[in-house]
Amino acid sequence: MKKVISTERIPIKLWLDDIEEGALEQARHLANLPFAVHHVAIMADSHEGYGMPIGGVLATENVIIPNAVGVDIGCGMCAVKTSLTEIDQASLKKIMGEIRKLVPVGFDHHKEKQDESLMPKVEGRYEIVDREYQAALKQIGTLGGGNHFIEIQKGSDGHIWIMVHSGSRNFGLKIAEHYNKEAVELNNRIFSIVPKKWDLAHLPTDSKEGQMYIREMQYCVNFAYANRKLMTDRIMSAFLDVLPGVTFEPMINIAHNYALLENHFGKNVWVHRKGATLATRNTIGIIPGSQGSKSYIVRGKGNRDSFQSCSHGAGRKLGRRQARRTLNLEEEKLKLDKQGIIHTVRGVKDLDEATGAYKDIGIVLANQEDLVEILVELSPLAVIKG
C-alpha cells in the first residue's frame, strides 16, 4: 500500500502514487457513502471511470450499486499454457489467420446462432436476460471491442501461452443500464442523501429490484465465462489445425467486474470489484499489460487491506481521445515492430490501445507486491484487438 487518506467518512487506501484527480474525487465519493463499510481500496492501475474509478474496490452493507460493477459485467481474463516451447513466425501468422475466421471481433457477431448448450443455464424468470437471450446466441464466442484482446505469448517458464480478455457483450450493457435507471428512480422516491451527480444510485439487496439485479448480474458473470471459454476452445482448435499434437493445460479464468457477498472485518458485505481482481491467498490470477508490454500470471496473498483484491491490468494513463490526439502513430508502431510483435496498430484510430496509452505495468506490479506474487511473466508475440 502506498498511502491512506483519512479525511473522509471512512479511509481510502491506495496502491498508487499518481492517481488522477477525477479518480481521486470518485474515490472520495465512495468513502462518503452512508452504507460503505470499513474503507475503500484503490488498486495500482486505477483511473477515472463512470461513477466509480476503474480499479476500485468497495464494500457495502445491504445495498448494491450497478455503476460500481459497470457495464461489462463479468468481464475478465483467461489464460492457457500450451505444450509448445517455440513457435515460428509462419506458423504464428497461420494461427492468427485461423483465429480471425473463428472469432468475430469488434461489433461483429456470428452469422448463425451458436449451440444453446454453450450458454449458461437459464433458471427461473429474468427481465433483461430473457429479452436478450436470442441475440446472445450469436454473441457468445465473440471478442467485442475496446480493450478486449487475444494474445499469443511466450512465458518465462519457456512455454507458449494463449490469453483472452473479454466480457458479457450486450448482456452486461443492457443489464447495467436498466438497473442503474431503476436505482436512480428508487433513490429519487426515497430521497436518498447520495448526490445524484455522483452516479452511484443504489438498490437495497432485499428489494425486488435488488434481488433481480443480483440474479441477472450473476448470469452475466457466467455468460462472460462461457464466452471466453468458447473463444479459447476455438483458438486451441486453430493451434491444432496448424500444429497437430500440441496439448493444453486447464484454463485459468478470473473476472474483474462484479459484486459478491463476502465476509470482511467481521461483516457480510457486498464487495464491488470494478476493474479489480480477486487475490485471496493462493488464488491464481491474471494481470495483463498493454499491447506490446508484458502480462503476468500471479498468485494472491490474501491481503485484507485490499479486500483480498489486486489490479486487473496496467490501467490507462491516457483517455481514448487523448491517446489519438497526442500519441505518435509511427513511434507506437515502431515500439511493437522492434519487439517483433504481430500487432493491430495500423492507423490513428488504433492509438487508443497503443502501448503509450497505458501505465507502466512494471510499476503497477511493484506497487502491489503485498497483494500478489508473480508466477509467470508473459511477453506478447501476436495480438488481435477488438
Q: Per the domain annotation, does 351 fall within a domain?
A: no
Q: Per the domain annotation, does 347 fall within a domain?
A: no
Given a cut of 50, the residues of the chain with pLDDT beneath it are none
| pLDDT per position as a tens digit, 184-242 | 999 999 999 999 999 999 999 999 999 999 999 999 999 999 999 999 999 999 999 99
Total count of domains within the chain: 1
Amino acid at 229: K
Query: How much is the pLDDT for 346?
Result: 87
Q: How far apart are CA 99 and CA 317, in angstroms?
A: 30
- Quick one: 155 exposed, middle or buried, by C-beta within 10 A (0-12, 13-18, 19+)? buried
Cell representation of residue 137: 446466441
Residue written as grid cell 487506501: 13
Task: Indicate which residue of 29, 165, 312, 343 is catalytic.
Answer: 312
CB 379 within 8 A of CB 294: yes
CATH number of the domain residue 189 falls in? 3.90.1860.10
Q: Per the domain annotation, does 64 fall within a domain?
A: yes
Query: How much is the pLDDT for 292?
Result: 85
> 312 an active-site residue?
yes
Expressed as residue numbers, the domain containing 301 is 3-317+358-385
Q: Per the domain annotation, does 344 fall within a domain?
A: no
Q: HSE on the CB side for 1, CA within 13 Å?
A: 17
Q: Per the domain annotation, does 324 fall within a domain?
A: no
Q: Per the domain annotation, does 205 fall within a domain?
A: yes
Query: How much is the pLDDT for 236?
Result: 98
Report how far apart, in Å, the C-alpha atoms of 234 and of each of 11, 195, 229, 278, 319 are: 46, 46, 9, 27, 32
Q: How far apart are CA 30 and CA 34, in angstroms?
A: 9
Q: Per the domain annotation, does 83 fall within a domain?
A: yes
- Going by C-alpha positions, the residue among 219, 213, 170, 178 that lies closest to residue 72 is 170
Q: Per the domain annotation, does 34 fall within a domain?
A: yes
Give the DSSP letter string of 21-59: HHHHHHHHHHHT-TTEEEEEEEEEEEE--SSS-EEEEEE
Q: At what angle do helices 208-242 and 128-139 cross, to 10 degrees?
A: 10
CB burial of 86-101 (b: ≥16 within 10 Å; e: otherwise) equals ebeeeebebbbebbee
